[in-house]
Amino acid sequence: MKQLVVVNVWLDQEFYQLADTLIAVLQHMDIIESIVNIPVQNPSEEEFSSADLNWTKFGSAERHDDVALIPYARVDAFIIGECSKIECPTRFHIERGRKRSKGSLKEYKNDEYLEYRLYWCSFGPENYGEGGGILPSRRYRLNTRNRAARPQSMRGCTCHFVVKRLYARPSLALLIYNDRRHVNKSGFVCHGPLDRDAIGPGAKKIPYICSEIQQQTMSMIYLGIPEENVLEKHIEGIQRYCGSNAKVNSLASQYVQKLGMIIKRSTHELDLDDQASIRMWVERNKKSIFFYQDTSETKPFILGIQTEWQLQQMIRFGHRSLIATDSTFGIKRLKYPLCTLLVFDSRQHALPVAWIITRSIAKPDVSNWMKALLGRVIAVDPGWKVNGFLVDDAAAEIDPIRETFSCPVLFSLWRVRRSWLRNIVKKCCNIEVQREIFKRLGEVVYSIWGGVNYVVALEELTQDFVDQTAFVQYFKATWVPKIEMWLTTMKTLPLASQEASGAIEAYHVKLKVKLYDDSHLGALQRVDWLVHKLTTELHSSYWLDRYADESDSFQNVKDEYIASTSWHRALHIPDTAVTLDEKDHLFARVVSQNDCNQIHLVWNPGSEFAHCDCEWSMQGNLCKHIIKVNMICEKLQAYEPSLSFRSFREILMTMWKKLRDDSVSLDLSMAWTHQMLDQIQKLVELNSSNNVGSIVNNMPLKWVAKKSRTSVGKPQCHLALPSCSNGNTKNAAARKKNRKRKRLSRLR
Ligand SMILES: [Zn+2]
Ligand SMILES: [Zn+2]
C-alpha cells in the first residue's frame, strides 16, 4: 500500500514533469529559430495591415519577437494599411533608422539588417498630456505663460514596429511587431474612437486632438482665416477620428476660440531686452533648435532653427536631392541677416527646412552649424545623403558645405539677376534702355566660357550708356569691384536651372512679403520678432500649403500654392500664345491669358537675361513669360542654350576630353560614367532631352530613354496642370499614381 502511494506520487511527479516538457516542446515548436524557415507572405490586397498577416514567434524560448516576412517592395503597402485601421486611424513616423552598405559585413546572421527602421505611432512615444512623466513641450509653442492653454497632441502611444530590410536577402523585409495595440504605458487605449478619454471632461476640458489637426487649426489662425472656417475645418478633422457629437462641437468651438485668442495676444517680446528674450525662447523651444550660440566676446550670435516638421521634410525631400540657400536675406534691414536652407518639394517648390540667423559667415562658424544640422538629420536617418547644394552668393564659403555634406556645390544666378534687373528698372526709365543694358550684362555673364573679354565688354557698356548716370554709378560702385569674383564663381561652379532659380526667388519674395509687410517700427531690429514671424506665420503657411496639396483639401490654398512659382505659371501658357521674331531673334511676343488684347514683349529670348515688360518682371522677378519663351527657345537650334545647359555641356565635354588613351583608366572612366548615367536616369527628370540628347549623342556613350521619377515623394510634378495631359488613359493612370503617392507621403 505504502509502496503504491509512493509510486502514485512518483507517477504524479513524472506526469507533471512530462506535461511541463510537453508544453515546453509545444511552445518551442511555435518559436522558430531561423528566419529561413519563415514563409514570405504577400497579401494580394493593394494595402494590408498586421491583421492580414500570420505572425511567427522568432528567437529563443527566453526571448522572441512576433515577426512576419514580406517582400521589401510591399513595406509601404503595409504601413498604409496599418495607418488606416478603423479602430485606430493614425500615422507612423520613423523614430530611428540605421543603414549598412552592401558588402560591409563579412559574416552575418540571417536576420541581420541592411536597413533598419523603427516606426512609431505618431500619437507617441512621448506623453505630452497631463500626467505624463516627460516635461510637456510642444513643437509650436505659443508665446504665452498660460499653462492651461497647452493643447494636447501626443498621447504616449506605445504602438511601434520595426522594418528590417534583410542583409542576406535585400528583396525581403522582416517586420517585428510586439506592441500592436495603441495603448499608453498604463495599458489604456490612448487614441481613436475606443479611447474614452479622448472626448469630454476626461480630456481635461480640451477636446482631444491630434497634432495634425492642432497644427492645421493654428496654421489657419496664423494665416488670418475667419474663425468660422477654422472651426468648421477643426470639427471636420476631429470627426475623422471620433464621429459627430454636439458636445464635441461645443468643446471644439471653445478650443478654437481660445487658441485664436492666445495667438492674437501672443507676442514675440518675452523680455524687453531682445537678447534675454531670445534666450528665453531658446529655453522653451529646445526641440526646434539645432544650433545656438549666444553672443560673447569671442563668439558671434548664431541661432539655427528647425522644427520637427521641417526636419522630416528635409529628410524626405533632401535625400538624394538638392538643398538650396537663400542666403543673406535682410542684410541691410535686419539686426542679423537670415539664411534659409530650402529643399525642393514634390512640386519642385522651395520649402524652408532650416533658418540660420547670424552675421557670421566665417568658415568655422558655418562649419559648426552645418555639422550640427547634418548630425540631427543623420540621427534620424543615417543613410540620408544630399546630392547637391545650391548657393546664391559668390562670397559664400563653400568648403564647409563640401566638408560637411560631401556633395557638389552648384551656383544659382537668381540673386545677381534680380539685383541687376531691379536696379536697371529703378535707375533707367526708358524701357528700351533697360532691355539693352540687361541684355549686355547677360552677354558679360555668358562670356565666362570665352569669346568676350569681360573687362572690355563692361568698359564698352559703361561708355555706351554713359548718360544713364544713376545706373552706371551704382554698377561701378557695387559690382565692378567684385565682378571678377562673381564671374569666376559662375565659371567654376555648375550653374543651376531656371526652375530652381525661380523656386528660390518665389520663397524669397514670400519671405519678404511676410516679414516686411506689417513690421512695426523697430521690429526689424529685434531677433525675437524675426524668430516669432518665422516659426509662426511663415512656418504655418508652408505647413498648410503642403497639407492642402497632400490631403487634397483647402482647394484655394492648394491652387495658390501650386501656382506660386513662375515655372508652374508658365506651364499654363500654351505654345500658341508665343510668337518669335523669326528673323533676328531679338524678341518674342506672349499673348496674355487673361486678356487676349494684352501682349507682353520678351526681349532677348532664350537667355536668363531676357527682359519682359509685365508688372511682375518689372519688380525684378523672373516672370512666367520669360520662362515660357525660354522653354520654347530651348528646343530651337537658332537660340543659344541656357546658362545651366551650357554649364552642363561644359562638364560633359571636359569629362570627355580627359579620356586620351585606350588604357585601363578609360575602362574605369567608362564604368563611372555608366554608373552616373544610371543614377541620373533614376533621379532627375529631364524636361527636355533635346539639348542633353544632342550633347550626349556626340559622346561615345548612348543616352538611354528617359524615365519618369519613381521614388516616393518625387511624383511627376505637373499632374494637376492641363498643359501636361496627353490623353485620358495616361491621365487616369497618373491620377491613380498621384493618389497613391499622396497616401505614401502621409507616412513620412
Ligand atoms: Zn497609437
Ligand atoms: Zn513677364
535 CB-contact burial (10 Å; exposed 0-12 / middle 13-18 / buried 19+): buried
Would you state the pLDDT for residue 537?
A: 87
CA of 28 relative to ligand 2 center, distance in Å: 75
Point out the ligand nearest to the CA of residue 621.
2
CA of 191 relative to ligand 1 center, distance in Å: 6
CA of 613 relative to ligand 2 center, distance in Å: 6
Point out the ligand nearest to the CA of residue 181.
1
CA of 747 relative to ligand 1 center, distance in Å: 14
CA of 345 relative to ligand 1 center, distance in Å: 28
CA of 275 relative to ligand 2 center, distance in Å: 44
CA distance linking residue 700 with residue 107, whole number of Å? 41
- Residue 462 three-state SS: helix
CA distance linking residue 647 with residue 653, whole number of Å? 10
CA of 156 relative to ligand 1 center, distance in Å: 8
Point out the ligand nearest to the CA of residue 619.
2
What is each CA distance from 179 to 204, 336, 748, in whole angstroms? 27, 48, 20
CA of 326 relative to ligand 2 center, distance in Å: 23
Tell me the three cell numbers of residue 297: 566676446
Q: What are phi and psi of 672, to 5 degrees?
A: -65, -45
Point out the ligand nearest to the CA of residue 180.
1
Q: Residues 182, 190: contact at Cβ < 8 Å?
A: yes
92-99/338-344 β-pairing: unpaired
CA of 667 relative to ligand 2 center, distance in Å: 49
Would you state the pLDDT for residue 237?
A: 77
What is each CA distance from 103 to 93, 100, 168, in whole angstroms? 28, 9, 10
Would you state the pLDDT for residue 29?
A: 54
CA of 316 relative to ligand 1 center, distance in Å: 22
The residue among 158, 152, 159 whose CA lies nearest residue 130 is 152
The residue among 710, 693, 320, 350 whose CA lies nearest residue 499 is 350
Give me the average pLDDT of each 10-residue run along the chain (748 residues). 42 52 53 86 91 89 89 91 78 83 85 90 61 35 32 68 92 91 78 56 42 79 84 80 70 82 76 86 90 93 94 92 91 89 94 96 94 95 93 92 96 95 95 95 89 86 93 94 93 94 95 80 82 91 90 88 93 94 91 91 94 95 96 90 90 81 85 84 52 47 38 36 39 49 44
89 CB-contact burial (10 Å; exposed 0-12 / middle 13-18 / buried 19+): middle
CA distance linking residue 363 with residue 371, whole number of Å? 12
CA of 192 relative to ligand 1 center, distance in Å: 8
Tell me the three cell numbers of residue 708: 519618369
Point out the ligand nearest to the CA of residue 605.
2
- Residues paired with 589 in a beta bridge: 579, 601
CA of 567 relative to ligand 2 center, distance in Å: 12
CA of 126 relative to ligand 1 center, distance in Å: 11
CA of 387 relative to ligand 1 center, distance in Å: 35
**Biggest CA pair distance of the chain:** 132
Q: H or E segment at 181?
A: none
- CB under 8 Å to 645, separation ≥6 — which residues? 634, 691, 692
Query: Could you count the other beta carbons within 10 Å of the beta carbon of residue 422?
Result: 14
Q: For the chain, report the end-to-end CA distance as a whole number of angstroms.
A: 75
CA of 118 relative to ligand 1 center, distance in Å: 14
The dihedral built from the CA positions of residue 364, 369, 374 and 379, taken in this order, carries a sign that is positive
CA distance linking residue 689 with residue 669, whole number of Å? 23
CA of 498 relative to ligand 2 center, distance in Å: 14
Omega within 30 of 0 (cis) for the link into 715: no
E strand intervals along 322-378: 322-329, 338-344, 350-358
E strand intervals along 551-709: 578-580, 587-591, 599-603, 611-612
Would you state the pLDDT for residue 206?
A: 39
CA of 189 relative to ligand 1 center, distance in Å: 8
524: left (phi over 0), alpha (psi -120 to 50) or beta: alpha
CA of 625 relative to ligand 2 center, distance in Å: 4
CA of 602 relative to ligand 2 center, distance in Å: 7
CA of 634 relative to ligand 2 center, distance in Å: 18
574: left (phi over 0), alpha (psi -120 to 50) or beta: beta
Point out the ligand nearest to the CA of residue 573.
2
544 CB-contact burial (10 Å; exposed 0-12 / middle 13-18 / buried 19+): buried
The residue among 418, 364, 397, 333 whose CA lies nearest residue 611 is 418
CA distance linking residue 151 with residue 139, whole number of Å? 11
CA of 547 relative to ligand 2 center, distance in Å: 30
- CB under 8 Å to 23, separation ≥6 — which residues? none
CA of 419 relative to ligand 2 center, distance in Å: 17
CA of 612 relative to ligand 2 center, distance in Å: 5
CA of 381 relative to ligand 2 center, distance in Å: 42
Point out the ligand nearest to the CA of residue 125.
1
CA of 390 relative to ligand 1 center, distance in Å: 39
- Residues paired with 411 in a beta bridge: 391, 495
Q: Residues 302, 175: contact at Cβ < 8 Å?
A: no
- For residue 45, the one-letter residue type is E
Angle, helix 469-478 to helix 454-464, in steps of 10 degrees: 150
Would you state the pLDDT for residue 158?
A: 86
Distance of CA 638 to the CA centre of its chain: 38
Point out the ligand nearest to the CA of residue 624.
2
Query: Could you count the other beta carbons within 10 Å of the beta carbon of residue 106?
Result: 5
Angle, helix 227-242 to helix 246-265, in steps of 10 degrees: 130
CA distance linking residue 716 with residue 64, whole number of Å? 43
Point out the ligand nearest to the CA of residue 192.
1
Helices within 31-150 (DSSP H only): 75-83
Point out the ligand nearest to the CA of residue 241.
1
CA distance linking residue 352 with residue 343, whole number of Å? 7
What is each CA distance from 149 to 254, 583, 690, in whole angstroms? 11, 69, 59
Q: Residues 70, 42: contact at Cβ < 8 Å?
A: yes
The residue among 232, 200, 195 whose CA lies nearest residue 213 is 232
522 CB-contact burial (10 Å; exposed 0-12 / middle 13-18 / buried 19+): exposed
The residues placing their C-beta within 5 Å of ligand 1, an ion, are: 90, 121, 123, 157, 159, 182
CA of 260 relative to ligand 1 center, distance in Å: 28
Domain boundaries, the chain: 2-32, 38-265, 282-413+510-550, 415-492, 565-651
Would you state the pLDDT for residue 521?
A: 62
The residue among 22, 35, 23 whose CA lies nearest residue 68 is 35
CA of 626 relative to ligand 2 center, distance in Å: 6
Point out the ligand nearest to the CA of residue 592.
2
CA of 351 relative to ligand 2 center, distance in Å: 24
CA of 532 relative to ligand 1 center, distance in Å: 31
Point out the ligand nearest to the CA of residue 627.
2
CA of 157 relative to ligand 1 center, distance in Å: 5
CA of 605 relative to ligand 2 center, distance in Å: 12
